[in-house]
Structure 1
């Protein structure tokens, strides 16, 4: 494992590194550790501060979504709801949703006139058909994060919304859809609403549900939506670092997290605080067949591609983004000059999946997702390996962090190849 040690030590070196701390854990399909280590500091710009460990509590952002996908399959297994049932029957608030098409007068306006100055109101239409649990889980429901979409930004200004995706409340995630359910793909708060569905179906606060049905069966004691209730303080958690655009790779500054430490609602899309040790237990359970969380048939459904043609096309735009400078295509190719030829990518009930092998790295049908401060996880059932990288560095898809992910994954698969060859 010396190469993995070398990579993490290089990236977290207090004088020449590019991040202040990182934890990498990889497990095999027999439940054994392949690698589990932390390097660097818990605090930014603190060479003598507390060392980062695999038990350091960390805001895991969208790594929360995997846990909610598991919880959703649990309530499906118990017959409380079907994947294609209309969730508006469970959450009456969603019955009033509309789809936003634009704003009155925009089509005829002078291009020199500021759109924000227009007085025309939003153009809304009724939702046609159901909003299903499957759509919420696969980001094909029409929900989009409000700060990511210009129509929703303008809508929020027009009606005077005071809450948004970082408010820590479900109200911050209630706004019009941006397309009719099932017709496209946009990254959004569908999983947060899945958490609300689970609360309604079980009569339990979503944090309580996860403790009883996910973390206690796994023997994981440090994962919660409400860390302060467990005695954790903001000073105890992995501090968030920011790299300003145009500044050198070593120039990190500590900053405030966009996520509130004490949120009102347990939000299933982004709200968990966890540790690398706890989270790797979840990955191990899913890699080894689901026990004690899900049956093997449910694992098969969880990892199966789900999207139709139109949704797949929109997902591909998200993955490719703006070529090497944006999107997620860097996960699937190391040839930026061939960016538009990225392999087919789909979305299952818990993350992205690739239809082909990535040379020297993950195999086809590997499932993965990431979190805003550059945390990542993947499960490669064909190779029998799952891994997660815990960091707290912004901005999202920070180039040095992208390279760290690629370096770690390449080194990990070299180890697997050597083990399979009997060395």
Structure 2
């Protein structure tokens, strides 16, 4: 009888082992994924795609992967490390978007309010429609509708961006709105004098819209933007190393910047150029670029987002606000989208790209429907994957923008593309 009970117990245990839930199957970052990630990051350095790379991934609130390889400064033989400070360029934009949306939650504005309601600097805007071939006079047309705040959060405002565009480019250069010696108010005043390059809401064109968001935060809050974002986003999240100005004592941790040539060689950009914005306190505190950060600091921001606005007991935004930001705001009628399609099957929310359809080919970046993300000019990247409660941050410092770096990293996280069977 005892032997029968023992056999029955063993059979039950064996049954549980065979048919019970395999937790590893519910994870994205398995041992196999870690091996792929190590290989991908190491290969980026060995092939001289980048001088150094570091990555941090959290899944279900826990750190599941960290790896740093190569050099923060190859010439000085300074290794890439966990506390390396990187210039994150446009990964500044989502931070600004969060700061703006804290004011949205306070009822300071509605997304479809005209921008000029709060910023008369943008009243009486016109749209550039060419140059008269005989007289050389610039042709302008009136707005079909005003720029809205929604437009500046999704890059559909129409602000001019090409200094080489005949006619409009000359006006853009003369205004010099983005000069770092300008305050945000001066920037807005100068932008308001330059005609738009298209009617608001008709195209997606990446440009200075998020700098205007920073200006709007300043206007609505009555505080300097740098002070507001520090008090309402960065400090509450404990992001003490995410900043515009890097003090001298911390500059030894700043990564060098590299430029990849057409012959695929890497050359270091002199620090006097690469770090110029972050080693002096300028008048301009742009919303669209300018912050530096560390892996752990930026991970706090992504964890707040995946937790729908709350991190470490501190609430920055309500869940419904984060969901709104992570919802595609582009109508299908917006067919002109610059480089956005290169990011995959995505739309654009409030300062994030938003994946709206599954990966459809081996050439496309791997991703999950519902994820939201953005990157930076020096090829940094982060994303938030609510489906798997996963957040990832990748730091490299290489220009021009290296989309293949992101492709390799995403493939390593999610595994290679597998075509889905067609539904009958």
Specify the TM-score bucket, using the shorter chain as the normaliser.
0.7 to 0.9
1:7 aligns with 2:23: no
What is the DSSP-based 3-state SS (H/G/I as helix, E as strand, rest coil) of the residue aligned with 1:135? helix
Cα distance in 2 for residues equivalent to 1:298 and 1:193? 20
What is the DSSP-based 3-state SS (H/G/I as helix, E as strand, rest coil) of the residue aligned with 1:71? helix
Superposed CA deviations along residues 386-412 of structure 1, whole A, max 9, x for unmatched, are 21211110112x3xxx33322222222
Cα distance in 1 for residues equivalent to 2:145 and 2:414? 45
TM-score normalised to structure 1 length:
0.79
Range 405-414 or range 191-200, more displaced = 405-414
Question: What is the aligned partner in structure 2 of residue 223 from structure 1?
Answer: 242
Range 251-260 or range 17-26, more displaced = 251-260
Cα distance in 2 for residues equivalent to 1:67 and 1:224? 11
What is the DSSP-based 3-state SS (H/G/I as helix, E as strand, rest coil) of the residue aligned with 1:41? strand
1:252 aligns with 2:242: no
Structure showing greater Rg: 2
1:308 aligns with 2:308: no
1:155 aligns with 2:171: yes
What is the DSSP-based 3-state SS (H/G/I as helix, E as strand, rest coil) of the residue aligned with 2:73? coil
Change (3 A) 1:186 1:154: same
**8 Å CA contact 1:144, 1:187 repeated in 2:** no
Aligned with residue 318 of structure 1, among 322, 336, 339: 339
Per the TM alignment, residue 168 of structure 1 is displaced from its structure 2 partner at its CA by 6.3
What is the DSSP-based 3-state SS (H/G/I as helix, E as strand, rest coil) of the residue aligned with 2:300? helix
Per the TM alignment, residue 97 of structure 1 is displaced from its structure 2 partner at its CA by 3.0
- For the aligned residue pairs, the C-alpha RMSD in angstroms reads 2.6
Change (3 A) 1:45 1:148: farther
Correspondence list, 1:358-369, <5 A: 358=359, 361-369=366-374
Superposed CA deviations along residues 206-252 of structure 1, whole A, max 9, x for unmatched, are 11111111111111111112324x8544x54211111122x1x3433
Question: What is the aligned partner in structure 1 of residue 318 from structure 2?
Answer: 295
Change (3 A) 1:149 1:290: farther
Per the TM alignment, residue 281 of structure 1 is displaced from its structure 2 partner at its CA by 0.8
5+ residue gaps, structure 1: 109-118, 321-327, 333-342, 416-423
Per the TM alignment, residue 197 of structure 1 is displaced from its structure 2 partner at its CA by 0.4
Change (3 A) 1:210 1:409: same
TM-score normalised to structure 2 length:
0.79
5+ residue gaps, structure 2: 1-33, 417-424
**8 Å CA contact 2:50, 2:266 repeated in 1:** no
Superposed CA deviations along residues 270-299 of structure 1, whole A, max 9, x for unmatched, are 121222211111111101221121111111
Change (3 A) 1:206 1:356: same
Change (3 A) 1:385 1:184: same
Question: What is the aligned partner in structure 1 of residue 114 from structure 2?
Answer: 86
